[in-house]
Structures are given as structure tokens and as C-alpha cells.
Chains A and B, each alone.
Chain A
Amino acid sequence: MNFFNISGYPDAKGHFGAFGGRYVAETLMPALLELEQAYRTIVPTPEFQKELNYLMHHYVGRPTPLFYAKRLSEHLGGAAIYLKREDLAHTGAHKINNTLGQTLLAQRMGKRKVIAETGAGQHGVATATTAALFGMECKVFMGTEDIQRQAPNVQRMKLLGAEVVPVSSGTGTLKDAMNEALRYWVGAVQDTFYVIGSVAGPHPYPVMVRDFQKIIGEEARAQIFAMCQRLPTTLIACVGGGSNSMGLFYPFLNDPVEILGVEAAGKGVKTGKHAATLTAGSVGVLHGSKSYLLQDANGQIIEAHSISAGLDYPGVGPEHSMLKEAKRVRYESIEDGQALEAFQTLCALEGIIPALESSHALAQAMIEARKRPKSDILMVCLSGRGDKDLGIVASALKKGESA
């Protein structure tokens, strides 16, 4: 395992080694510089931290539990699996850690309107939630394909007072939602705060989102020491844009801990219908930062595919690209069918319905656990709950039966 010195990243211009940066239209540059300044000066203040911590505890419900999945571990017959229960955070996923931080920052910056892009709808719901909490106007851009497959979350956002803006360009998924959110922001940048939901986008978003999400790993680190008096052997989390995984990984980067990021292999990396950016992509620039991408030889972006809307994205956060090149994190990929199987297994053995995104991490954990001794500890980020996915799972299982 390669140890990695995390100090010094990102640099002053937001570069994580060869990745990251700010590749945006000039209209947005001043807003990003203003945001970076606000992030550096407002977020570290005791007043900001005090309010954030208060809300993280009393509103979000942190700390979320670390749960030993005893029946699942015994069923697999190998390593012990511990689940970091982000599904138990308010709104049912880790996304709220970040939206709470960003919305609070928006409020301190005097912005009254927020916008967000969403894929699975979890980030949209989390943004709509914190916007409601602070009485701010909220617009959420969502692909038409995702609006169909994540209908429950669309209902939730509307109830929370957000306007859901359908995006039909491209394949109507997360990438297109982000394009449209960026376009809207170019026109509304003077009074609108863009709440980006992943460790992607232009600087300072990747570092800011990671810092708001690193509470996942900080809590999990303390919890595993309290429960087992030692570090885990391996961390496992799913990677779409990569926010829950960066949140879990970051506090462990300097520890002697193996780290696995799990991408969506969709119908199989070889079929071309996948979202395994780090596994099968190449370096380029999309949505404001340089990172691994799914693209053709001419630099046109290729549509991603995954059964999980939250992983259905042809890019990935720049810090992940750096960690891949530094060989600090190993990236694997899991196909739609394997994720579905892990989804069902966790429901049956532990009484927990995981999000399809998190099911990718679980599927990898199940593969690893079987190969390893009982003394190994695998810590998995259960990034969200799966209620939103029941429709997709039901129809996928039906298709599987009739096939």
C-alpha cells in the first residue's frame, strides 16, 4: 500500500497534482474567487463551526452509527463488515452534510437563492431541505430520465418548496443537469449560490465538499477505535462524483489502511455501457475541473450508464484522480447485477434497505470479505437508504426473471 502525504493539496489554484483547477467561463471566475475567499474566511470561524455542529447534531442526527453487520459477515464467512450508517442521516443520505455547510455559507455570504443539480435526487432533496431550513429560494436541475426513475425524490423536493427544473438535453441524466445548472448560474451569478453536490466542479468545490463530508471518516475513525481498539483493514465506498468516498477516505489517508473506491460498471466495462471513469476513462476537462472522464478520441464526452442514478456520471472528482495516480486508493467496479444482488442480501440479512449507489460498495465488500480472514475489518460507507430505488429494483428484478 502506498502512503500519501496529503498536505499541500490542493494548491492555491485548486490543483490536486495534475488535476482539479478552475476551467470555467470568465463570467463565473469572479464568483468562484469570491466563494473561495468566503470559504477560507467564514467556514473556519468559531461562530460558523458552532452553528454547523449544532445543526449536524440536532438537525441531521450526527453522529451516525457504525454498525457491525454480524449476520452478513457470518454469511460470507470471512472478514468482519462494519457499516457507516449515512442512510440514517436526515433525508436518508450523506448529501446533507455538504448542503448544510454550503447553505449556511450561502446565508453568511448574503445570498438568498440556491440552485443545485441532482442525479438520484438525494442531493436535490438535501439542498431543498436546508434551503427550507434557512428560508431560501431553491431550484433543482434534474434530468428527465432521472425524474422518471427517482420519482419519490421529485415529490419530496416539491413538498420542501423547491422548483424542480427538468433537463431533457443529452440523456437527461446527472451530467446534463449539471450543464444546465452551470448555464443558469452564468445568468444568475450575482445573487445565486450554486450548491454543487459532489467533490467535482471547479475549485473550491472539490475541497469544500470534501471538507464538509470528512465528518463521515472522522466519526468512523473514532467509532472503530471505540468498538475494536484498532484501525480498519480496508475502507470501501462507492464513487460517482465521489463525495461519500472522499468523506470517508480523507481522515484515513495517512493511516496504514487499504482503501477501495468502487465505480459503477453498469452492464459491464467491456460493453461500453458503464460509469467506471477511473477504471476505463482518460484525462480531460469537464464541468470546471480536470480529471478522469469518459470521452472519445476527439474529446467528446461519452454518456455514462448505471442502474444507479447517483453513479451515472461520466466524470469524477479530481482528488480521486490524484489518489488513483498516486496509487493510494485502488478503484474497482461493480456491475448493475452485482449491485442488485448486494442490495437484496443486505435487506434479507440485516434489515437495512441500502441505496443502489451504496449497494456497489457493499457488493465489493462481499467479494473482499469472502477472500479475507475473520480478523480483517472492512469498513463500508452505506451512503444512503434505498427507499427511492424500490421502483427500479422491482422492475430490474422482474426483467431478470423474465429474461
Chain B
Amino acid sequence: MNRIQKTFDSLKEKNEKALVGFVTAGDPNISESLKIIKAMCKAGLDILELGIPFSDPTADGPVIQRSSGRAIANGMTLKIALDMTRQIRQETDIPMILFSYYNPIHAYGNKAFYEDAVSSGADGVLIVDLPPEESDEMTSTWSGKELSLIRLIAPTTPVARMKSIADSASGFLYLVSKTGVTGSDGLNTGDVGTHIRTLRSVARLPICVGFGISTAEDVASVASVADGIVIGSAYERLIEENLNHADLPGLLAERTSIYKAATRITR
């Protein structure tokens, strides 16, 4: 059984939902970024999404745009992100998902990316701008099935399309909470609940919800309907607002335990 499935199974037994944390690899710099991620893992993160920065992140709001900019300015590349993955893997067993736009992977080489991602200990990849219509060119070069291809479902996705996406996905499904870029406000948990019910009628994989979730209250309310909650911009905002803080890893660890507590369902 792979790490992703194992994680969802064991959380289910504990009556908890998955806390999925996104941070941009190399923000604010490579060594600090490693410390931040390790601290978040220790503080109870269930799944790590490691963001590979891209110069033109068209699905991201200003917070992740700026974090990508900081990381690239510090020399961050996909190759270094894979090295970081290898280092993090030595200290944790949680699933790690590489979160990227397609161009850095395409430039690295689809085949080499698969091999190096698997050997570094990554469990999945989510490519924002690679819909099922275009992903064969990448997966056809892969030598195995050890890397889950995490698929996105949007509020605009019609139900027939949801089904066809779910059928070709593995690991978990990432449901975008609202139309808009990452970090936009206006989370409507009622709408999210409706979308999840529709998606569950055609999909068996666990469903994680992301975009616009920033407070423990948001987490608790989405946790009541989803299998996992993705936090990205809120973590990156915390990094950005505390760039000169003496203990940035400590701050992110503390926030992680607060979010994690909100994923424990008590009823």
C-alpha cells in the first residue's frame, strides 16, 4: 500500500481529516525552507505539498506569486527541490506531493523527472496546468506507477467530466473550493459541501479541498465534509510577514498544530 492511501486509512481510524500543507520550496531561502518543512512535519502535518516555483504562475494569487519570486531569486530549481525532497524523506514518512506548473518539469525532461521524483521519495505530483487532455505525453514516458498523478476538480467542472477525471486519477482528488486563483477570499462552505457530494457520487478517491482556506474555523468547517484540507497561501503569508523573525520554523510549526487540531472531528 502506498503512503498516500496509508495516510488516509489511518486518519480515518483516528477520526481525523488530512492536513495538507503547501509551501514553496526555497522560500525564503533553501536552508530555512528545509527547517520550516521539517518543523511542520513534526508539528502534525499529514501530507506535504512542495511547490516548485515558476516564473509565470497564472493560477496563483499575489502571495504565492511573491513566494515563487523569492525562491527563484534564491536560485531555486526543480533539481534542488528534488534534493530537498530526498532530505525531508530521511526524516518523515508522510506523503510528499510535488506541486508544479508543467514547464519546469517539461524542461527537466518527463522521463527523468519521474525517475528522480520516485527515487527522492516523492509520492505524487500535481501539475496545475496539465489537464487530462494533455497529460499522456508526460505519463507515457514514465517507467512505472509509483508516482500518483493528483488531479484537480474545479467548481466549473461538469459532473460527466468529474467522473472521467476521477477515473484517471490516483492518490486523492484536489477539489478547488471556488473559481479564482489561490489565496482569494470568499470561502463558501455550503458550496463546497454541494460540490463534494456531487464529486463523491462519481469518485472513490479521498477528496481534499483547497484555495482560500486560512483560519482554524475554515479548516474545521471544511473538515466536516472533506477528507483533507489544503493550506497554501496562509502559510506563505505567514512566511512573508515574518521574513526577519528569529524562529520562522517555530511559527509555522505552531500554526500547523492549530490547523491540525481543527481537523480532529469530535462528534
Which residues of A approach B to under 8 Å, CB–CB? 13, 21-31, 169-170, 175, 179, 182-183, 186-190, 283-288, 293, 295, 297-301
Digit string of B58-98 for contact with A (CB within 8 Å is 1, else 0)?
A: 11110001000000100001110000000000000000000
CA gap between A295 and B78 in the complex, in Å: 14
**Neighbouring A residues of B143 by C-beta, 8 Å:** none
Task: Find out whether the CB atom of B179 lies under 8 angstroms from the CB atom of A299.
Answer: no
Between A and B, 15 residue pairs with Cβ closer than 8 Å are A21-B133, A21-B134, A23-B131, A23-B134, A24-B129, A25-B129, A25-B152, A26-B157, A29-B131, A29-B161, A186-B179, A284-B107, A295-B107, A298-B107, A300-B104
User: B56, B154, B156, B158 — which one has the most chain A CB atoms within 10 A of its CB?
Assistant: B56
CA gap between A367 and B153 in the complex, in Å: 53
Tell me the nearest residue of chain A to B66, going by C-beta. A169
Query: Is B187 an interface residue when CB atoms closer than 8 A count as contact?
Result: no
Which residues of B approach A to under 8 Å, CB–CB? 54-61, 65, 72, 77-79, 101-108, 128-131, 133-134, 151-158, 161, 165, 176, 179-181, 184
Main secondary structure of the interface of A (DSSP, over half): mixed
User: B108, B161, B180 — which one has the most chain A CB atoms within 10 A of its CB?
Assistant: B180
Q: What are the 4 tightest A-B residue pairs by CB atom distance, in nearest-first order?
A: A299-B107, A187-B180, A299-B104, A27-B154
| Nearest CB in chain B: distance from A16 CB, A | 14
Report which of A23, A183, A190, A301 forms a contact with B55, defined as CB distance below 8 A.
A301
**Neighbouring B residues of A169 by C-beta, 8 Å:** 65
Task: Find out whether the CB atom of B156 lies under 8 angstroms from the CB atom of A30.
Answer: yes
Task: Find out whether the CB atom of A183 lies under 8 angstroms from the CB atom of B58.
Answer: yes
Task: Find out whether the CB atom of A27 lies under 8 angstroms from the CB atom of B102.
Answer: no
Task: Find out whether the CB atom of B156 lies under 8 angstroms from the CB atom of A13.
Answer: no
CA gap between A285 and B133 in the complex, in Å: 14
| Nearest CB in chain A: distance from B192 CB, A | 15
Report which of A27, A182, A288, A298 forms a contact with B77, defined as CB distance below 8 A.
A298
CA gap between A183 and B180 in the complex, in Å: 7
Given A25-B152, A298-B107, A285 contacting B102 (CB threshold 8 A):
yes
Task: Find out whether the CB atom of B130 lies under 8 angstroms from the CB atom of A23.
Answer: yes
Task: Find out whether the CB atom of B133 lies under 8 angstroms from the CB atom of A190.
Answer: no
| Nearest CB in chain A: distance from B199 CB, A | 12
Beyond known contacts A189-B156, A300-B54, A300-B55: 11 more, CB 8 A cutoff:
A21-B133, A23-B129, A24-B129, A26-B165, A29-B154, A29-B157, A30-B157, A30-B158, A284-B103, A298-B108, A301-B55
Report which of A22, A297, A299 forms a contact with B105, defined as CB distance below 8 A.
A299
Task: Find out whether the CB atom of A183 lies under 8 angstroms from the CB atom of B107.
Answer: no
Given A186-B59, A186-B181, A26 contacting B103 (CB threshold 8 A):
no
Given A27-B179, A179-B56, A186-B181, A22 contacting B131 (CB threshold 8 A):
yes
CA gap between A22 and B102 in the complex, in Å: 12
Tell me the nearest residue of chain A to B57, going by C-beta. A179
Task: Find out whether the CB atom of A26 lies under 8 angstroms from the CB atom of B134.
Answer: no
CA gap between A188 and B186 in the complex, in Å: 14
| Nearest CB in chain B: distance from A358 CB, A | 28
CA gap between A298 and B109 in the complex, in Å: 10
| Nearest CB in chain A: distance from B174 CB, A | 9
CA gap between A169 and B155 in the complex, in Å: 28
| Nearest CB in chain B: distance from A192 CB, A | 11
CA gap between A169 and B69 in the complex, in Å: 10
| Nearest CB in chain B: distance from A111 CB, A | 14
| Nearest CB in chain A: distance from B52 CB, A | 9
| Nearest CB in chain B: distance from A196 CB, A | 13
CA gap between A187 and B103 in the complex, in Å: 23
| Nearest CB in chain A: distance from B22 CB, A | 15
Task: Find out whether the CB atom of A25 lies under 8 angstroms from the CB atom of B58.
Answer: yes
**Neighbouring B residues of A13 by C-beta, 8 Å:** 133-134
CA gap between A182 and B65 in the complex, in Å: 14
**Neighbouring B residues of A24 by C-beta, 8 Å:** 129, 131
Task: Find out whether the CB atom of B103 lies under 8 angstroms from the CB atom of A286.
Answer: yes
CA gap between A328 and B10 in the complex, in Å: 59
Report which of B108, B130, B154, B184 forms a contact with A299, defined as CB distance below 8 A.
B108
**Neighbouring A residues of B60 by C-beta, 8 Å:** 183
| Nearest CB in chain B: distance from A213 CB, A | 24
CA gap between A189 and B180 in the complex, in Å: 9
CA gap between A298 and B179 in the complex, in Å: 30
Task: Find out whether the CB atom of A299 lies under 8 angstroms from the CB atom of B161.
Answer: no
**Neighbouring B residues of A179 by C-beta, 8 Å:** 56-58
Given A24-B131, A27-B156, A186 contacting B65 (CB threshold 8 A):
no
Task: Find out whether the CB atom of A26 lies under 8 angstroms from the CB atom of B154.
Answer: yes
Tell me the nearest residue of chain B to A283, going by C-beta. B106
**Neighbouring A residues of B104 by C-beta, 8 Å:** 298-300
**Neighbouring B residues of A301 by C-beta, 8 Å:** 55-56, 103
| Nearest CB in chain B: distance from A236 CB, A | 31
CA gap between A26 and B126 in the complex, in Å: 12
Tell me the nearest residue of chain A to B62, going by C-beta. A169
| Nearest CB in chain A: distance from B73 CB, A | 11
Given A23-B134, A30-B158, A175 contacting B56 (CB threshold 8 A):
yes
Given A23-B130, A190-B179, A285-B129, A182 contacting B154 (CB threshold 8 A):
no
CA gap between A299 and B112 in the complex, in Å: 14
| Nearest CB in chain A: distance from B71 CB, A | 11
User: A22, A26, A169, A190 — which one has the most chain B CB atoms within 10 A of its CB?
Assistant: A26
